[in-house]
Amino acid sequence: MSKPKKTGINEDFLISAEEAYDWHVLKDKGGPTFSGNESWQSYITFIEEKLRGYGVIDIIKNKWTYNRWYTSEWLDSSNWTLISDGEPVKVAHYGAYSGATGADGVTAELVYYDPTTRPSVKGKIAVFTLAPEPKQKTLEPLKTDPNPNTLPPNISVSDDAFIQNIRTTGFTRILKKGQAAGGIVIFDMSYDRVAGLYTFPVPVLYNVPTLYLDRNAGAKVVRDAKKGRMATLKLLAKIEATETYQLIGCLPGKHYGTGRDEKILLITHTDGPCISQDNGALGVLGIIAYFSQIPQAERPRTLLAFLDNRHYMPGGERAFKKENWFARNKEAKGGIVAVIGIEHLGQIEYREVGEIYEPTGKVEQSFLWARNNQSLVDMANKAVADNQLPRPIVQREGDPGVIWFGMGQIAVQWDLPGFAIMSKMGAYWTTAAGIDKFDKNLFRTQVATMIQLTEELMKIKIK
């Protein structure tokens, strides 16, 4: 006998927090899941096995091969070291796809790159510094939730780690065009925030070996660079032809296989550096697990799981748009009537206090986007309230200042009803974010919220 609906969904069908935790423990064991690497292979194999067990059929692996660049991962810094003016410097991480040195590294004069004077970097190791971004005021949520963890509208949502990270793309261009011997990027963060920071967006291989430093280690290197001292930078890396693939499959609805079939696209990515950057696939599993317990005859629409593998590949999705399943199979869009995007789940909020990077005792904020339709916004607000999603920010695509984030962007591109959820990344850009930075109860609640919205999309009339 089913339990009463405490939320908008049947809790008997919802995965437990303990099962969600076990899934993440398994994922965490392999470390970063970069597209096609051993950890990713283990992760995607697990996901496929679970999907099949939940009744997903007609599974497709859209495969191709690319040149994967890799080196040792944090904590193992043996392949990336720096000596500045004769003294070893603590390195926080490397610049992904930045190339490699020989076993002895590259020795060259340091030069501090002042953007106002733009000195020549040719044949030198260029040193760049990043300043923190000004705090930004968050947009006021469409809904004020009575939950005490709800984010007040005047709290900043500026993700400084993300902003500093994406600004490295400008340095990459300078290094390559200027024919530098190497690069050093100094983040205005403590070591614990920079440690394991993986470059995003991931650049195409640019062959100027680059290292990342925190502000303390970087202070000495800046002084040395301004004096024109010598440094030896080592970054050992390999390039390996690697097979990877998008995983696609259907949990059939009552009209599956007929001309009347309509599909809801469940979309996420499967590659990333840490416990929850790419755990949207486990969120998709949670949704599929729920609906698999409803008889096919009672599922009005088919659920189409589309697990993308391109987010952390060099150049990202755009660089591999010709390989994309929807590009290779124009007819695949047929019958898709709505979209659910899901990623970055179960995150804990961290803050930097001096040189300490510590949890605040709260979960990260959850951003929930709805297409520009009041009925969809109302559904989103109701799902947040019914499931008591902590610290929600519900936003409507198209409103002034609102940018549609995440994998749910495809709903905008195809002009379909849709929702997307993700958390503000905070501590989750780094390979150092493991199972200790995962909140199983938040994950379960986020999945429950998206199940309720999927259920709504199952029922609504779509033109």
Whole-number Å distance between alpha carbons of 300 and 161? 42
Whole-number Å distance between alpha carbons of 389 and 123? 53
Picking from 115, 108, 152, 146, the residue whose alpha carbon sits closest to that of residue 130 is 115
The alpha carbon of 21 is separated from its chain's Cα centroid by a whole number of angstroms, namely 19
DSSP state of 332: G
- What would the pLDDT profile of 31-45 be if each residue is shown by its tens digit? 999 999 999 999 999
Q: Is residue 186 part of a domain?
A: yes
Picking from 136, 409, 395, the residue whose alpha carbon sits closest to that of residue 269 is 409
CB atoms within 10 A of CB 95: 26
Q: Is residue 144 part of a domain?
A: no
Q: Is residue 358 part of a domain?
A: yes
Beta bridge partners of 126: 111, 183
User: Which pLDDT does position 353 carry in this prediction?
Assistant: 86
Q: Based on the domain organization, do 126 and 193 belong to the same domain?
A: yes
User: Which pLDDT does position 132 carry in this prediction?
Assistant: 62
Q: Based on the domain organization, do 85 and 109 belong to the same domain?
A: yes
User: Which pLDDT does position 158 carry in this prediction?
Assistant: 38
CATH code for the domain in which residue 178 is found: 3.50.30.30
Q: Based on the domain organization, do 355 and 229 belong to the same domain?
A: no
| Structural domain count of the chain | 2
Q: Based on the domain organization, do 405 and 282 belong to the same domain?
A: yes
Q: Based on the domain organization, do 58 and 178 belong to the same domain?
A: no
Q: Is residue 143 part of a domain?
A: no
Helix (H, G, I), strand (E, B) or coil at 356: strand
User: pLDDT tens digits for the chain (463 residues)?
Assistant: 344 345 579 999 999 999 999 999 999 999 999 999 999 999 999 999 999 999 999 999 999 999 999 999 999 999 999 999 999 999 999 999 999 999 999 999 999 999 999 999 999 999 999 976 444 433 333 333 333 333 333 333 336 788 899 999 999 999 999 999 999 999 999 999 999 999 999 999 999 999 999 999 999 999 999 999 999 999 999 999 999 999 999 999 999 999 999 999 999 999 999 999 999 999 999 999 999 999 999 999 999 999 999 999 999 999 999 999 999 999 999 999 999 999 999 999 998 888 899 999 999 999 999 999 999 999 999 999 999 999 999 999 988 878 777 888 999 999 999 999 999 888 999 999 999 999 999 999 999 999 999 999 999 998 7
Q: Is residue 148 part of a domain?
A: no
Whole-number Å distance between alpha carbons of 316 and 321? 9
Q: Based on the domain organization, do 313 and 187 belong to the same domain?
A: no
The residue among 236, 252, 275 that closes a domain is 236
Helix (H, G, I), strand (E, B) or coil at 188: coil
Beta bridge partners of 61: 247
Q: Based on the domain organization, do 324 and 257 belong to the same domain?
A: yes
Q: Based on the domain organization, do 288 and 437 belong to the same domain?
A: yes
Q: Based on the domain organization, do 76 and 44 belong to the same domain?
A: no
Q: Based on the domain organization, do 217 and 261 belong to the same domain?
A: no
The residue among 236, 254, 285 that closes a domain is 236
Domain extent, residue 186, equals 72-130+167-236
Q: Is residue 2 part of a domain?
A: no
DSSP state of 85: T
Q: Based on the domain organization, do 280 and 172 belong to the same domain?
A: no
Q: Is residue 162 part of a domain?
A: no
CATH code for the domain in which residue 447 is found: 3.40.630.10
> ∠ at Cα 357 (390, 125), nearest 5°?
125
- What would the pLDDT profile of 144-182 be if each residue is shown by its tens digit? 333 333 333 333 333 678 889 999 999 999 999 999 999
User: Which pLDDT does position 401 carry in this prediction?
Assistant: 78
Q: Based on the domain organization, do 199 and 274 belong to the same domain?
A: no
The residue among 236, 254, 273 that closes a domain is 236
Q: Is residue 146 part of a domain?
A: no
User: Which pLDDT does position 147 carry in this prediction?
Assistant: 38
Distance linking the first and last C-alpha atoms of the chain: 36
